[in-house]
Structure 1
Amino acid sequence: MNVTLYKQMMKVYMKSFMNYAFGSAFYILLMFWLYPSIANNTKAIDELVKSMPKGVGKAFGLTGFGTAEAFISGEYYGLILVLILAIVCVQLSTQLVAKLVDQGSMAYLLSTPTTRGKVAFTQASVLTSGLFLIMAVTTIAGFAGNAWFLGNKYEFDTSRFIQMNMVAFLLFFALGGICFLVSALSNDEKKALGISGLITFGFFSLDLLGKISEKIEWMKYFSIFTLYKPGDIVNGQGNLVVTSIILSVIGLVSFGLAIVLFRKRDLPL
């Protein structure tokens, strides 16, 4: 890793990281604030959820609102957090490599006493650090929301909340690795952004469609989002170890392949 480059890139993107982090924190605090107002009506809401088509509940992680973490998993982790971190992965991975190549800035970086491999590894570390920072702030905000709005009056399983955040980070570590691989192989910023966006929201759509209808359930197995099941985690049904290993391997392989291929490819410098 090039430490000087890492510090500079973190300085450049820190404001963006914190904007996403505080935006995520705001939404999760809003969920904690809302929960006490609906806690007394959870049975009625659960009945409403059960009356919906089975696929709709599965698609959006609506597994019941009997506990605070179950409510948050469906209302926040099932969609809003996914959209926030998907945008981060697509935009930032493109800016860290493809944009620099497209604008000619990569030539200046490589003219310094460093190597392509170090530059690529450093940029990958910046993306990973940004995702970790956003999830760390989100997790801390969750604990603050529990203390401020729930206290001892409402049930909240902190261990499952931590597990849900850990799997969310690993999901976007894997997705970030795939987007970074696309960026490392691209010379054009817009093309890299388009391909990464297509892959990301293609994965999301395949998973969503596969959950909505049993007839096309096979589609979700072509998406890494099928490994992300916050509702199962809060209900104690998720296979956390297997999911974590698969997502970690996808991320490590994608980032590793991106670094290796970036070192070997021809660049328009």
Structure 2
Amino acid sequence: MNIFKFEFKRLLKSAIIWSIICGALIVLFMSLFPSMKNMGMQELVGSKMDALPSELLKAFNIETTMDFTNIFDYLSYAIQYIAMASAVYGAILGVNALIREESEGTIEFLYSKPIKRSKIVTTKLCSVAAIFLIYIVIVGSFTMTTCLMVKPDNVEVMDLIINVKSIFIGIALLGYVFMAIGLLISSIIKSDKASIPVAIGIFFVTYFLGMIGKLKESFDWMKYLSPFDYYAPGEILKNGFDVTLVLVGICIIVIAIIGSYVIYNKKDMNI
């Protein structure tokens, strides 16, 4: 029996739905870009932003110097909401990966086959990782196509391609961090009833910790508790990847996956 094939087919439909919804949102966001310049929206948005404290804007990953008539500044602002949705989706995939078999009662069927627990974890992990990669490719394609359609004449196509590619590499890493954390939680919990609230909670708790860290310098260390800030689209476009934060994210992935194997192999199953 091919667990990977079965799991991949089961998750593909939801992946396509997530991809279409997020792709449609980015098309909607980017279709508004030409109006930022042609209708004087930059002045209106700028006046509203100037009325807010700079610390608050920074907490929401908005720079006071952000120019919404610049396609890269506008993209970095719009795409952060897609990055948030992607992180939540990655967490949902991870949290549901192992616990679903116990909740649906199919774990007993798996145990009737000569399959080790470690192989179950491996195939589940590979299937959710592949599904998330498909999601990233589809949403990235939506973004690339839309940006090419609305880009100003003074923006080089290659620059646009490189920047969009960098953003989605960051979003992919972000999703895999939350997926790994979700997989670890999936190896611990006993029921999938709370899986989606847990997945959403994981993201927003860490996101708000990162916001607190940006409000005051003495709390700057809290950015390490917020994976979203490791791969924030605005930072990637402005300063590139922070190698230290990228390595922290990779370490979280490795530790969470190893922990999932260890805990799942010792777990008392609901059979």
Place the TM-score, normalised by the shorter chain, in its bin.
0.7 to 0.9
Determine the C-alpha separation between the residues in 2 that align with 1:199 and 1:86.
10
Alignment partner, residue 62 of structure 1: 62
Any stretches of 5+ residues in structure 1 without a counterpart?
A: none
Name the counterpart of 2:107.
106
Asked whether the 8 Å contact 1:32–1:150 carries over to 2, the reply is no
Question: Per-residue displacement from partner, 1:113-148 (whole Å, max 9, x unpaired)?
Answer: 321111111111122122211111111112211232
User: Match of 1:190, SS?
Assistant: coil
Residue of structure 1 equivalent to 2:241: 239
Give me the whole-angstrom Cα distance separating, in 2, the residues matched to 1:161 and 1:100.
37
Is the contact between residue 206 and residue 219 of structure 1 (CA under 8 Å) also seen in structure 2? yes
**Cα RMSD for the two superposed structures:** 2.5
Letter in 2 for 1:247: G
TM-score by length of 2: 0.86
- CA distance in 2: counterparts of 1:207 and 1:164, whole angstroms: 19
Figure out how many residues of one structure are paired with residues of the other and give that number. 264
Task: Give me the whole-angstrom Cα distance separating, in 1, the residues matched to 2:235 and 2:88.
Answer: 25
Give 1:21's match in structure 2, choosing from 16, 19, 22. 19
CA deviation vs aligned residue, 1:152-185 (integer Å, no higher than 9, x gap): 3556632122111111110110111001100012
Hey, what does 1:199 align to over in structure 2? 202
Say if 2:231 is the partner of 1:228. yes
Of 33, 36, 41, 1:35 maps to: 33
Matching residue's letter, 2:149: W
Which residue is 1:256 aligned to?
Answer: 258
The amino acid that maps onto 2:166 is Q
Contact 2:98-2:186 within 8 A present in 1 as well: yes
Query: What's the secondary structure of 1:161's corresponding residue?
Result: helix
1:206 positional shift: 1.0
TM-score by length of 1: 0.86
Aligned counterpart, 2:160: 157
1-structure distance, mates of 2:212, 2:142: 32
Equivalent residues of 2:92, 2:182 under 8 A apart: no
Where 2:190 maps in the other structure, the secondary structure is: coil
User: What residue in structure 1 maps to residue 83 of structure 2?
Assistant: 81
**Are the aligned partners of 1:177 and 1:254 in contact in 2 as well (CA < 8 Å)?**
yes
Q: Which runs of 5+ in 2 are unaligned?
A: none
Structure 2 distance, partners of 1:234, 1:211, is 19
Measure the CA separation in 1 of the matches of 2:175 and 2:93.
12
Q: Which moved more, 1:158-167 or 1:194-203?
A: 194-203
Listed one character per residue, the Cα deviations across residues 219-239 of structure 1 (whole Å, up to 9, x for unaligned) are 43432223132112212x233
State the 1:18 CA deviation: 0.4
The one-letter amino acid paired with 2:95 is T
Q: Which amino acid aligns with 1:177?
A: A
Counterpart-to-counterpart distance in 2, 1:124 and 1:101: 16
Contact 2:144 2:164 in 1 (8 A): no
Give the superposition deviation at 1:215.
6.2
- Specify the alignment match of 2:75 in structure 1: 72
| Structure 1 residues 145 and 101: alpha-carbon distance in aligned structure 2, compared to 1, 3 A threshold | same
Query: What is the rounded CA distance, in whole Å, between the counterparts of 1:154 and 1:212 in structure 2?
Result: 34
Q: Given the superposition, is the C-alpha separation of residues 16 and 191 from structure 1 closer, same or farther in structure 2, using an over 3 Å criterion?
A: closer
2:193 aligns to what SS in structure 1?
helix
Pairwise CA distance, 1:194: 4.5
Counterpart CA distance in 1 for 2:194 and 2:140 is 34
Contact 1:93 1:127 in 2 (8 A): yes
Distance 1:267 1:196 in 2: 21
Change beyond 3 A, Cα 1:34–1:195:
closer
Q: Map 1:107-146 to 2 at 5 A.
A: 107-146=108-147
Cα distance change, pair 177–17 in 1 and its aligned pair in 2 (3 A): same
Q: Please report how far the alpha carbon of residue 151 of structure 1 lies from its aligned counterpart in structure 2 after TM superposition.
A: 6.0
Which string of whole-angstrom CA distances, capped at 9 and with x for unpartnered residues, describes residues 242-263 of structure 1?
3333222221321232123212
The residue aligned with 2:192 is: 189
Distance 2:25 2:55 in 1: 25
